Every structure is written in structure tokens, then in C-alpha cells.
């Protein structure tokens, strides 16, 4: 693919005359009639390229997730002019806390919420056969099963918690000179902490259920395994005992979370 | 310090849903002045404040401090909101220290200034209390202390006493007037309460609604030495009545 570099000199962006000069250079190297598609890669900030036509038919804007969520608000013209916005570096998304990212960033939220909603309704136990086929009977498939069963619930609930952070709290920090990262760590994170702990507490119940489900079908030991063995020998008393022990352990975990919440988030009580 | 607001316009939405909120609002605030904007709801007065704070961008017009254009929020403009503005997980002292910590001031300096500003607003005893343990008036005094501690050039007060009941409101008005006299701060107050504006400010701008625009500017030349006395003095009441009629005439007539 032939490429022609254009220097913009002291300007911060391309204009039509520069592109026309580039086209002349390109014509020396190939027949213009053979062109199917001509890409013009414009440079610079998000201001000038939006307002200078360079003879294009379609405009594509590239936005990387690490640039932050406020770009469409700060540079509305660019995002209005673009026919397509490509969000790049999305591979970095898992390294941002996704729920916080979705709660604060409408673009990420709109991209991920339908997908998360879909996966959330897939019953996690249905993944057990696949997990056994791929990962055997070790601990890994159980960890993955619990992740599948709780990650999306947790993420969506944390996203909702972030959406309910009062606007005034964030704006106060901004008028005191706070920037995005300190606002996330010092305003958003402490405000949602009680909700996050509560979300974990609620979803712990399904995580705990999934441990037992995994042990019922794919384990060599554990409470679930004991129950399925007892079933084989019709020892209903052992089954009852197993269920009660499972319930008690769940209750202890729940109480632990409540105690943690009382201590860590006393302001919210 | 010279805060200049020049032909400020603001619209929200596009196309048919476009709503003009402010039209050609211009005024200035100089060091040590106390200026008030008075208007009914829908007059865009809060929008003026949010534009000056840098929380919104104007559709047209300019805002500058000492010639430097305002484009984003910054600690040169401290803001006090009507409600919900204290961080509920921080004590009163930690709330006051919050802005200074964001600015990266040293620990001893933060500690010293926190103690000083708690003293200034008369709440040194409440330093270790959480916001929910404080009354509404005390909470707003902490919010004012927090804004002042960050050393703003101008203090923006957006209906700061709007959520308080009437007795507390009156004592807070005296507190603010007194604070202004003691510290020489520069303040811009947004309120729908004409009496509050006349009691506190040296200059009062009246905003008409839909779209918000300044229809009258008054410089208040009254004897402010005693607020309790001022509230019932004849010149004060006469000025208040005159401006109140002015405000009423701006309201669209209620449909019969």
C-alpha cells in the first residue's frame, strides 16, 4: 500500500491544500484510477481536524480508553462531525475497575451494559461441563465458575452505586482543584464503599452456592461431594447435615461482612 | 482580583429542544466586594454560578479572572453548594482539610490552617464530629470553611442557606456578613431571597427569567452596622419593596 507523508510545517493539522500536494506526490507512483480507498490520517488535537475539510467522504475519530471519559464533552464538534468513533486500547479496560469505569463513563457503560446484561442471565452452572472439559477437576474450573456467576452481578451493582454518587460531592472536589484520579480514589471510592461491601455480601450467597454446585458435579472432595456420595447410599441424614453445615457457614460469612461494614463504614449507618 | 463576566450566553440542547437559559449577562466582581445575583427559579442564576466555577462551558461570551480566561474548575474559585456538599465519611476537620490536601500542601500547614478556619467559622469544638452529627447551619459553616481554606480569590455561594429554616438562616446571614467584614473575602452570592441579597451584598443584580438576563443593578447604600436593625429600617424596607415589585413584574402572569 503506497503511503505519502505530508509535513504540516508549523500548523497543528492538515488542510485541503496539503492533502492536494500529497495527492500529486501519490500520482507519481500510481494511477489514481486504480485507487479504491484513500486514507487521510489527520493529526493533532481534537479541535482543528474537526473543522477543516480535506476532501474526505467519511470522518473516523479514534479515542483511546485511557484518554478519559470527558473527551466527547470537551470536544463536542469532533464527535458530532465524526461518522464513526473507534474506541481503541480497549484491552486496557480490564485493568480499570470496570464497574467504576461504567458508572462514570457513559461511553463505556453503553458499550458494555448490554453485553453484561446478556451474560448475567446465562446460568453459571451451565458452564460446568465446558469448564470440566477445558480445565479438568482441579480448583481452577471452580474459581472460574464462581467468577462467571458473580463478576457481572458485582460489576453492574457497583456501576449503579457509582451513578448515585451525588453530583455535588464530585463538583465540590473539582472546585477545590481535584483532578480525575484523586476524585475517583478520594470521593467516589469512599462513597460507594458501603454499597460495594453490601454487594459483595449479597453476591457471596450465590458464590457460596456455586462452590457447592461445583463440588456436586466436579470434585473429589468437599461438602458437595459428600452430599452426592450420601445420595448414592440413600443416607438422607448426612444430606440434611451437609445442607445445614453449608447454611451455617454461609451465615458466618454474612455476619463477617456485616461486622466489616459496621467497622469500616460507620459513617453510613 | 477582577472577575469579569462578559456577554455570557448559555443554551442547553439542540434543534427543537434547544433552550436558551442565559442571554448577554455581564457584570464584574472586584477584590473585597460582595455581589449578589437575585432571580426566581428559571432565571438561570445557578447556571451563571456553574459557568463561573468552570463546571459548564458557556455557549458564547467570556469569563476571566485578572484577564486569564476561565475554562475549567480551579481552586481560585471556591464554591459552596446548597446541600450535600460535605463528605459524609470525613469529620468536620477532615472536610476542611480536604481541599488543601488535594492541593498538595504540607501536613503541618494543613493542620494549622484547618484549626484556624474551624476557629474562623466558630466550630473548633466540632472538629471531630461527622457531618450527620452537625446541624444544617453548622454543616454549611464547615463547607464555607473548607472553601476558604483552599484560598480562593472569590467565594461562590449558590443558595447557601436555601435548605435551612428561617431562624438559622437569619443567624447564618449575620455570620456571613461578619465573616466578610473580618476576612475581607470576595464573594458572589446567588439567591432567590431579595432580603438576603440586600442584607449581605454591596451590589445586587436582578435577573429576569426565560432567558436569564440582568434587568437591573442596584448598589446598596444602607447602614449595615446592625443587621437586626437594618432588617426593619425604613430605607431597607422601601428598597426591598421597590425591587420586589420589580421582580414580580418579571414573572409571567398565571393563567386564569
Q: Which residue has the higher pLDDT, A64 or B178?
A: B178
Min Cα–Cα distance to chain A from B32, Å? 20
- On whether the CB atoms of residues A258 and A201 are closer than 8 A, the answer is yes
Residue B71, judged by CB atoms within 10 A of its CB (0-12, 13-18, 19+), counts as exposed
Interval A152-168: pLDDT, tens: 888 888 888 888 898 88
B99/A267 Cβ within 8 A = no
- Contact B146/A174, CB-based, under 8 Å? no
> Is residue B164 over pLDDT 60?
yes
**pLDDT at res. B58:** 92
| pLDDT beyond 60 at B256 | no
Closest CA to B63 of B31, B38, B29: B29
Record the cell numbers describing residue B89, joined without a space.
465519611
More confident residue, A102 or B160: B160
Contact B91/A at CB under 8 A: no
Grid cell locating B249: 413584574
Instruction: Give me the pLDDT at residue A21, please.
Output: 86
Cβ-defined contact of B73 to A174 (cutoff 8 Å): yes
% residues pLDDT > 70 (chain A): 94
pLDDT of residue A126: 85
Cell numbers for A239, please give them.
444430606
- With beta carbons less than 8 A apart as the criterion, state whether B92 and B142 touch: yes
Residue B127 DSSP symbol: T
In terms of CA atoms, which chain B residue is nearest residue A170?
B85
Counting one residue from chain A and one from chain B, the pairs whose CB atoms sit within 8 A come to 67
Establish if B53 touches chain A: CB-CB under 8 angstroms.
Answer: yes
CA dist A255 and A14 (Å) reads 63
The C-alpha atoms of residue B26 and residue A51 are separated, in whole angstroms, by 29
Residue (of B178, B243, B234) closest to B204 by Cα position: B243
Q: Give pLDDT, residue A57.
A: 86
pLDDT band at A76 (very low <50, low <70, confident <90, very high): confident
Interface contact A178-B147, CB threshold 8 A = no
pLDDT of residue B69: 92
CA-based radius of gyration for chain A: 27
Provide the whole-model pTM: 0.71
Q: Which residues of B touch A187 (CB under 8 A)?
A: 87
Does B84 contact chain A (CB < 8 Å)?
yes
SS3 B120: helix
pLDDT (0 to 100) of residue B144: 92
Q: Average pLDDT of chain A?
A: 83
Return the higher-pLDDT residue of A116 and A252.
Answer: A252
Q: Report cis status (omega within 30 of 0) of the bond before B211.
A: yes
Provide the percentage of residues in chain B whose pLDDT is more than 90: 52
What's the CA gap between A144 and A149, in Å, rounded?
8
pLDDT band at B255 (very low <50, low <70, confident <90, very high): low
- The Cα-based distances of A192 to A100, A186, A259, B246 in angstroms read 10, 11, 17, 46
Chain-wide mean pLDDT for chain B?
89
Examine the pLDDT at A219 and tell me if it is beyond 80.
no
Per the model's pLDDT, the better-predicted residue between B151 and A87 turns out to be: B151
User: What is the pLDDT at residue A44?
Assistant: 65
Classify burial at B36, counting beta carbons within 10 Å of its beta carbon; exposed 0-12, middle 13-18, buried 19 or more.
Answer: buried
Coil/strand/helix, residue B122: coil
CA distance A11 to chain B (A): 23
Average pLDDT over residues A123-134: 86
Task: Say which of B73, B89, B150 has its CB closest to residue A267.
Answer: B89
Please indicate whether, in this complex, the C-beta atoms of B102 and A182 are within 8 angstroms of each other. Answer: yes
Q: Could you tell me which residue, A16 or B90, shows the higher pLDDT?
A: B90
Q: What is the average per-residue pLDDT within A240-264?
A: 90
Give the CA angle between residues A169, A170, A171 to the nearest 5°.
Answer: 95
- Note whether B40 and B247 are within 8 A (CB): yes
- pLDDT for position B35: 95
Query: Three-state SS string across chain A, please?
Result: CCCCCCCCCCCCCCCHHHHHHHHHHHHCCCCHHHCCCCCCCCCCCCCHHHHCCCCCCCCEEEEEHHHCCCHHHHCHHHHHHCCEEEEECHHHHHHCCHHHHHHHCHHHHHHHHHHHHHHHCCCHHHHHHHHHHHHCCCHHHHHHHHHHHHHHHHHHHHHHHHHCCCHHHHHHHHHCCCCHHHHHHHHHHHHHHHHHHHHHHHHHHHHHHHHHHHHHHCCCCCHHHHHHHHHHCCCHHHHHHHHHHHHHHHHHHHHHHHHHHHHHCHHHC
Query: Closest Cα of chain A to B125: distance in Å?
Result: 19
**What is the percent of chain A with per-residue pLDDT over 90, rounded to a whole number?**
8
If pLDDT is split at 50, 70 and 90, which confidence band does A92 have? low
The beta-carbon neighbor of A177 closest among B83, B89, B99 is B99
Over residues A198-217, the pLDDT tens digits come to: 888 888 888 888 888 888 87
Nearest to A175 among B73, B88, B103 (CB): B73
- Are A141 and A105 in contact by the 8 Å Cβ rule? The answer is no
Residue of A nearest to B49 (CA): A175
**Between A168, A186, A265, which is nearest B84 by CB?**
A168
Read off the pLDDT band of A66 (50, 70, 90): low
Q: How confident is the model at residue A181 (pLDDT cuts 50, 70, 90)?
A: confident
Specify the pLDDT at position A94.
Answer: 57
pLDDT computed for residue A137 by the predictor: 78
A31-35, A156-160, A185-189, B47-51: the lowest-pLDDT one: A31-35
Q: Is the pLDDT of residue A96 over 60?
A: no
**Residues B215-241: pLDDT tens digits?**
889 888 888 788 888 888 888 898 988
pLDDT at A88: 77
Residue B254 has pLDDT above 80, yes or no: no
Interface membership of B87 toward A (CB under 8 Å): yes
Give the Cα separation of A223 and B188 in Å (integer).
Answer: 67
Tell me which of B57, B98, B148 to substitute to probe the interface with A (most A C-beta atoms closer than 10 Å). Answer: B98
Supply the pLDDT for residue A91: 60
CB-based contact (8 Å) between B132 and chain A? Answer: yes
Amino acid at each position: 500500500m503506497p503511503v505519502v507523508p505530508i509535513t504540516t510545517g508549523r500548523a497543528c493539522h492538515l488542510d485541503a491544500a496539503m492533502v492536494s500536494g500529497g495527492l500529486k506526490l501519490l500520482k507519481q507512483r500510481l494511477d489514481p484510477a486504480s485507487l479504491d480507498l484513500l486514507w487521510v490520517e489527520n493529526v493533532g488535537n481534537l479541535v482543528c481536524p474537526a473543522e477543516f475539510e480535506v476532501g474526505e467522504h467519511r470522518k473516523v475519530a479514534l479515542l483511546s480508553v485511557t484518554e478519559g471519559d470527558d473527551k466527547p464533552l470537551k470536544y463536542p464538534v469532533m464527535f458530532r462531525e465524526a461518522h464513526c468513533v473507534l474506541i481503541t486500547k480497549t484491552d486496557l479496560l480490564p485493568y480499570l475497575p470496570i464497574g467504576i469505569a461504567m458508572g462514570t463513563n457513559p461511553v463505556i457503560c453503553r458499550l458494555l451494559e448490554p453485553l453484561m446484561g446478556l451474560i448475567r442471565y446465562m446460568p453459571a452452572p451451565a458452564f460446568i461441563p465446558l469448564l470440566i472439559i477445558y480445565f479438568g477437576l482441579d480448583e481452577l474450573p471452580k474459581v472460574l465458575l464462581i467468577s462467571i456467576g458473580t463478576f457481572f452481578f458485582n460489576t453492574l451493582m457497583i456501576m449503579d452505586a457509582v451513578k448515585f454518587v451525588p453530583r455535588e460531592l464530585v463538583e465540590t472536589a473539582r472546585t477545590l482543584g481535584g483532578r480525575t484520579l484523586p476524585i475517583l480514589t478520594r470521593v467516589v471510592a469512599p462513597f460507594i464503599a458501603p454499597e460495594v461491601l453490601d454487594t459483595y455480601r449479597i453476591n457471596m450467597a450465590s458464590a457460596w452456592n456455586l462452590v457447592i454446585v461445583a463440588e456436586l458435579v466436579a470434585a473429589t472432595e468437599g461438602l458437595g461431594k459428600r452430599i452426592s456420595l450420601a445420595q448414592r447410599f440413600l443416607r438422607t441424614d448426612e444430606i440434611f447435615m451437609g445442607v445445614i453445615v453449608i447454611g451455617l457457614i454461609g451465615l458466618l460469612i454474612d455476619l463477617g461482612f456485616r461486622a466489616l461494614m459496621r467497622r469500616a463504614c460507620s459513617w453510613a449507618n | 482580583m477582577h472577575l469579569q463576566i462578559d456577554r455570557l450566553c448559555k443554551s442547553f440542547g439542540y434543534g427543537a429542544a434547544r433552550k436558551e437559559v442565559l442571554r448577554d449577562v455581564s457584570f464584574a466582581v472586584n477584590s473585597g466586594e460582595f455581589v449578589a445575583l437575585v432571580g426566581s427559579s428559571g432565571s438561570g442564576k445557578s447556571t451563571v454560578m456553574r459557568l463561573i466555577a468552570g463546571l459548564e462551558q458557556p455557549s458564547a461570551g467570556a469569563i476571566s479572572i485578572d484577564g486569564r480566561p476561565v475554562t475549567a474548575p480551579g481552586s481560585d474559585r471556591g464554591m459552596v453548594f446548597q446541600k450535600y456538599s460535605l463528605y459524609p465519611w470525613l469529620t468536620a476537620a477532615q472536610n476542611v482539610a480536604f481541599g488543601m490536601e488535594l492541593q498538595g500542601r504540607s501536613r503541618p500547614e494543613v493542620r494549622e490552617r484547618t484549626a484556624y478556619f474551624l476557629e474562623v467559622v466558630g466550630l473548633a469544638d466540632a472538629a471531630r464530629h461527622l457531618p450527620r452529627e452537625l446541624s444544617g447551619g453548622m454543616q454549611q459553616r464547615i463547607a464555607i470553611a473548607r472553601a476558604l481554606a483552599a484560598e480562593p480569590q472569590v467565594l461562590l455561594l449558590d443558595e447557601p442557606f436555601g435548605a435551612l429554616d428561617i431562624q438559622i438562616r437569619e443567624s447564618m446571614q449575620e455570620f456571613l456578613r461578619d465573616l466578610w467584614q473580618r476576612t475581607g473575602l470576595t464573594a458572589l452570592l446567588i439567591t432567590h431571597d431579595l432580603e438576603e441579597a440586600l442584607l449581605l451584598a454591596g451590589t445586587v443584580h436582578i435577573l429576569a427569567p426565560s432567558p436569564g438576563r440582568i434587568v437591573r443593578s442596584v448598589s446598596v447604600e444602607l447602614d449595615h452596622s446592625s443587621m437586626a436593625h437594618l432588617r426593619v429600617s425604613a430605607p431597607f424596607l422601601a428598597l426591598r419593596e421597590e425591587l420586589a415589585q420589580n421582580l414580580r413584574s418579571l414573572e409571567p402572569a398565571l393563567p386564569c
